[in-house]
Amino acid sequence: MAVRDPEATKARIFEAAVTEFARHGIAGARIDRIAAEAKANKQLIYAYFGNKAELFATVLERKMLDLAESVPVDPDDIEGWVDRLMDYHAAHPELLRLLFWEGLEYGTEQLPHESGRQEHYVRKVATLKDGQDRGVVTDAIPPGDLLFLLTALANWTAVVPQMRRILTGDAEEDTARLHASVKEAARRLVAR
């Protein structure tokens, strides 16, 4: 008789959900496909994660936490932070896809688990504000706006790879040049 491992099952469901939501968004994702990929029954998905919207919110929340832990904002090294952020998204393209699906689904409406997300961003903004207070980052732009602009600058290359390829080329040296350009733009954006 096989022994059930609830944690292993939850992990398989989570990974299958990441893939499914990144490919199909919230509306297009199917619990049946997640269950089949995870080799779990649908009732376990509902028992462990709630409905499909809650599962998506949980997936995105965990992925955002991984990003925050892997690539903390560093006002003392904005170019390095931007470089690490671009590398992270190149290695984990599913996160930006999940964020864009969320944007398409919710627009400007309140998000599930939004208060947790706000706390996450409050810490990042506070880190930039500290850099402003210490004089290593410009205070000409409010710190929340600055975080938004820097993140957009770093993320856009991964969000629209077709535009990146058409405008800047797709060879290895083109990618390296674009990385350098994005870091230079970030450096200028935060310069005092």
Structural domains of the chain, with CATH: 1-50 (1.10.10.60), 59-190 (1.10.357.10)
Contact 114, 64 (CB under 8 A): no
> 46-65 pLDDT, tens per residue?
999 999 999 999 999 999 99
Distance of alpha carbon 15 from alpha carbon 76, whole angstroms: 35
| Residues of the chain above pLDDT 90, percent | 89
| pLDDT score for 192 | 87
For residues 37 and 20, is the Cβ–Cβ distance under 8 A? yes
pLDDT digits (tens, 9 = 90+) for 93-140: 999 999 999 999 999 999 988 888 888 899 999 999 999 999 999 999
Q: In whole angstroms, give the CA distance from residue 64 to residue 72.
A: 11
Express each pLDDT in 123-182 by its tens digit. 999 999 999 999 999 999 999 999 999 999 999 989 999 999 999 999 999 999 999 999
CA distance 165 to 161: 6
Q: What is the pTM of this model?
A: 0.89
- Euclidean distance between CA atoms 117 and 111, whole angstroms: 9
